Amino acid sequence: MIRVNSLDKSFDGFKALSDLNLNVKKGSIYGLVGTNGAGKTTLIKHVTGILKPDHGEILIEDSNVYENTAIKERMGFIPDDLYFFSTYNLKESAKFYRSIYPNWSQNRYDQMVKQFELNEKRKLSKFSKGMQKQAAFILTMSSMPDFLILDEPIDGLDPIIRKLVWKYIVEDVAEREMTVLVSSHNLRELEGICDSIGILSKGKMMIERDLDELKSDIHKIQVAFKTPVEDPYKGLNVLHKESRGTVDLLIIRNRKDMVESTINESHPVIFDMLPLSLEEIFIYELGGGDNEIESIIF
């Protein structure tokens, strides 16, 4: 389990993270999402022990992660900005990883190199960005981490490779109870694999929920009445509303049974609850429903 308690971090007077809490259950995949500059990478650098908090604590299995070698030996981290030794090829990098990660699996490494079809003898600095991401993933997953931290892991990868990356991650979560924290702007992909979601904005955790639970409490609906009704949505938490002729389109955050009972009191002639994506939840929770993006949603 990964826990972040009351984390504060400032840089030259700028508050990057403020009283932030995060909880990642053992053997689960946690998706961290937020706008650009929300503090996702700063948070990840604390979870991996790269940065020391100004206040608060980061615990993995109830141990502080900062300068904790025993925990870091069991952790895999793929940052958005990759770094490799400039003269090393993939085979030499694997030898280095094998020397510092006690759970290194040579069998997995050999299997993944073959499956991803990378040249072991070519310098990593000569690889394309996408190939470097693949190399980093091979090296990290071959270390058999108990905790996997990923910052934009699929950026620059083609669809076939992305599918292969997620396949390895999901299998390790299922078979070894690996714990995963992943930050990504690809909300549609996260929606398909995450158990929980944390929405970050301006250095603060806005929402942290199981994905299924989050979806059960926020709804997209379309409603029409035969004759005008005075305030048919009274008592509901309406995040967004627009009208198209006689049809109202709304985003509402309440329990499903409360939404249904409130609207049915006014006897609508049309009342449909429509599927709501993680991308839509993200937009409306952060107040983006009144900008140009709404035309894409509806």
pLDDT higher than threshold 80 for residue 217: yes
Structure tokens at 178: 């690996």
Residues 199 and 60 in one domain: yes
Higher pLDDT, 179 or 288: 179
Give residue 295's pLDDT: 35
Asked if residue 240 and residue 204 are part of one domain, the reply reads: no
Asked if residue 51 and residue 77 are part of one domain, the reply reads yes
Instruction: Summarize pLDDT for 250-294 with one digit per residue, the tens.
Output: 999 898 999 999 999 999 999 999 878 888 888 887 765 544 333
Residue 155 belongs to a domain with what CATH number?
3.40.50.300
Task: Please report the pLDDT score of residue 287 as a whole number.
Answer: 67
User: How far, in whole angstroms, is CA 220 from its chain's centroid?
Assistant: 22
Q: What is the pLDDT of residue 135?
A: 95
For residue range 195-213, list pLDDT tens digits in order.
Answer: 999 999 999 999 899 988 8
Q: What is the 3-state secondary structure (H, E, C) of the chain?
A: CEEEEEEEEEECCEEEEEEEEEEECCCCEEEEEECCCCCHHHHHHHHCCCCCCCEEEEEECCEECCCCHHHHCCEEEECCCCCCCCCCEHHHHHHHHHHHCCCCCHHHHHHHHHHHCCCCCCEHHHCCHHHHHHHHHHHHHHCCCCEEEEECCCCCCCHHHHHHHHHHHHHHHHHHCCEEEEECCCHHHHHHHCCEEEEEECCEEEEEEEHHHHHHCEEEEEEECCCCCCCCCCCCCEEEEEEECCEEEEEEECCHHHHHHHHHCCCCCEEEEECCCHHHHHHHHCCCCCCCCHHHHC
pLDDT at 289: 52
Res 293: pLDDT: 35
Phi-psi map region of 90: left, alpha, beta (phi>0 left; psi -120 to 50 alpha): alpha
Give the tens place of pLDDT for each residue, 114-154: 999 999 999 999 999 999 999 999 999 999 999 999 998 88
Express each pLDDT in 61-98 by its tens digit: 999 999 999 999 999 999 988 888 889 999 999 999 99
Pairing of the two strands 2-11 and 14-24: antiparallel
- Asked if residues 38 and 282 have their Cβ atoms less than 8 Å apart, the reply is no
* Residues 204, 255 within the same domain: no
**φ, ψ of residue 273 in degrees (nearest 5):** -100, 125
CATH number, domain containing residue 241: 3.30.70
Mean pLDDT of the chain: 91
Confidence of residue 296 (pLDDT cuts 50, 70, 90): very low
Residues 170 and 225 in one domain: no
Predicted pLDDT of residue 277? 86
Residue 40's pLDDT is 94
Q: How far apart (Å, rounded) are the C-alpha atoms in residues 232 and 22?
A: 37
The mean pLDDT value for 183-197 works out to 90
Phi and psi angles of residue 103, each rounded to the nearest 5 degrees, phi first: -95, 15
Alpha-carbon span 2 to 47, nearest angstrom: 8
Residue 177: how many CB atoms within 10 A of its CB?
A: 12
Give pLDDT, residue 89: 95
Q: Are residues 6 and 101 in the same domain?
A: yes
Let me know: does 196 contact 164? Beta carbons within 8 Å. no
Picking from 212, 242, 259, the residue at the C-terminal end of a domain is 212
Residues 246 and 201 placed together within one structural domain of the fold: no
Question: 29 with 102, same domain?
Answer: yes
Q: 2 forms bridges with which residues in the sheet? A: 24, 60
Q: Tell me the two tokens of residue 68.
A: 């904790």
Average the pLDDT over 12-31 and give the result.
95
Q: Are 24 and 82 within one domain?
A: yes
Count structural domains, the chain. 2
Q: Are strands 196-201 and 218-224 parallel, antiparallel or unpaired?
A: unpaired
Domain match, 172 and 231 both: no
Are both 93 and 20 inside the same structural domain? Answer: yes
Same structural domain, 193 and 253: no
Q: What is the pLDDT of residue 214?
A: 83
Q: What is the residue type of 143? A: S
Domain around 128:
2-212
